[in-house]
């Protein structure tokens, strides 16, 4: 048991976080077009939420092939770097900490989103099912559709993507971020390499679990010198059941998720990364993460562990008191309550989130949620 609360400070990568309430990565599809550039609306959105102890950006594609949804921001062009610099400056002026989530969707994309309308890339040529991607059909208009069939990356191309992650981390540093998080969840590219359901390669990146984790390991090794390994985080979504909802929203269910993710956590512990982020199911009546997994993860990984997914103040405090986690992401709650840490600490009522404005659109449902008066 611990006497720490959500409002106790936490050390992460040499930074003192003022509380343990985090803004987790939340796709909002509000970048400026053309070019997927963070604009003034995004500057205001992150500035408003800078009282969080820790903030991670929405998924930010590391290259044009890494995009799976219209209007998501990138970190691969000079214009994008300049746009993000305005965001980080605003957050730092408010005393906040902001990491950039580096994202590559792999097979979860469509030819309409790919350069020259080529096929998306993946560890193996297996089409994603049960998920949808979002493509633009006109200015400010789009439609959900099924992903296109991907093509398998060559071994040389896999190594080139590792190098692209390194470049993206360097770009994030130029943009003023405090660190980076690798999106290794939700069935996207790194998760596709890890999963036995999407990786049928016969080279050094396929076969055994050690080989399937190699892509992630090489990326961590490539990007760690940029900020220092303690300013690198990795996000997983370990699923222990296989309902349709979980497959659609969180990705892939391994035959032995416990062994897969505890092995991955031990590897990342040896690589001395700064934190692990665990995405849990977040819809009503979704299953709880097994407590034996939480305990084993705590044993396997010595740096801070962040959890997100349908958390309340009470649930987060329980996980903290049991010693299983250190930092807690509040997703839709933080969308609707830009002053969430103060509201939670003072017991003020919470604004409800407007589901219709989560993805794309204007400042409505983005920067117009009121603070508590």
Burial class (CB in 10 A: 0-12, 13-18, 19+), 132: middle
Fold of 10-21+61-75+98-330: TIM Barrel (3.20.20)
- For 344, residues 6+ apart whose C-beta sits below 8 A from its C-beta are 6, 21, 313
Which H or E element spans position 133?
Answer: strand 133-138
**Would you say 227 and 169 are in contact if contact means Cβ atoms under 8 Å apart?**
yes
Q: pLDDT tens per residue, the chain (373 residues)?
A: 567 999 999 999 999 999 999 999 999 999 999 999 999 999 999 999 999 999 999 999 999 999 999 999 999 999 999 999 999 999 999 999 999 999 999 999 999 999 999 999 999 999 998 899 999 999 999 999 999 999 999 999 999 999 999 999 999 999 999 999 999 999 999 999 999 999 999 999 999 999 999 999 999 999 999 999 999 999 999 987 766 655 555 568 899 999 999 999 999 999 999 999 999 987 777 778 999 999 999 999 999 999 999 899 999 999 999 999 999 999 999 999 999 999 999 999 999 999 999 999 999 999 999 999 8
**Would you say 201 and 123 are in contact if contact means Cβ atoms under 8 Å apart?**
yes
pLDDT digits (tens, 9 = 90+) for 51-80: 999 999 999 999 999 999 999 999 999 999
Sequence ranges of the domains in the chain: 10-21+61-75+98-330
What per-residue confidence (pLDDT) applies to 281?
81
Of 46, 69, 165, 188, which residue is the catalytic one? 188
pLDDT digits (tens, 9 = 90+) for 171-185: 999 999 999 999 999
Assess whether 188 carries a catalytic annotation: yes
| Maximal C-alpha separation, the chain | 60
Burial class (CB in 10 A: 0-12, 13-18, 19+), 279: buried
Residues 144, 149: Cα–Cα separation, whole Å: 16
């Amino acid at each position: 048991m611990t006497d720490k609360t959500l409002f106790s400070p936490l050390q992460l990568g040499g930074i003192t976080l003022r509380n343990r309430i985090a803004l987790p990565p939340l796709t909002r599809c509000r970048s400026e077009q053309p070019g997927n550039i963070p604009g003034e609306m995004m500057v205001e959105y992150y500035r408003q939420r800078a009282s969080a102890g820790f903030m991670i950006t929405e998924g930010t594609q590391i290259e044009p092939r890494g995009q799976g949804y219209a209007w998501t921001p990138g970190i691969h062009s000079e214009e994008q770097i300049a746009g993000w610099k305005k965001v980080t400056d605003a957050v730092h002026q408010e005393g906040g900490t902001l990491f950039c989530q580096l994202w590559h969707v792999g097979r979860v994309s469509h030819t309409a989103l790919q350069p020259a309308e080529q096929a998306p890339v993946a560890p193996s040529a297996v089409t994603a099912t049960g998920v949808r991607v979002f493509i633009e059909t006109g200015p400010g208009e789009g439609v959900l559709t099924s992903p296109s069939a991907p093509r398998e990356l060559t071994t040389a191309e896999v190594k080139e993507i590792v190098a692209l992650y390194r470049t993206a981390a360097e770009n994030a540093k130029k943009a003023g971020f405090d660190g980076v998080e690798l999106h290794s969840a939700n069935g996207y590219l790194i998760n596709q390499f890890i999963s036995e359901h999407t990786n049928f390669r016969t080279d050094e990146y396929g076969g055994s679990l050690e080989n399937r984790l190699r892509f992630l390991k090489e990326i961590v090794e490539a990007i760690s010198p940029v900020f220092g390994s303690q300013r690198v985080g990795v996000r997983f979504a370990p699923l222990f059941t296989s309902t349709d909802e979980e497959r659609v929203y969180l990705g892939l269910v391994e035959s032995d998720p416990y062994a897969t993710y505890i092995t991955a956590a031990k590897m990342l512990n040896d690589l001395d990364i700064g934190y692990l982020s665990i995405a849990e199911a977040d819809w009503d009546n979704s299953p709880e993460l097994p407590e034996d997994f939480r305990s084993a993860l705590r044993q396997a990984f010595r740096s801070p562990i962040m959890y997100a997914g349908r958390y309340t103040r009470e649930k987060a405090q329980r996980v903290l008191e049991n010693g299983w986690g250190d930092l807690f992401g509040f997703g839709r709650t933080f969308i609707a309550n830009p002053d969430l840490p103060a509201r939670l600490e003072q017991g003020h009522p919470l604004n409800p989130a407007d589901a219709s404005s989560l993805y794309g659109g204007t400042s409505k449902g983005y920067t117009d949620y009121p603070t508590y008066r």
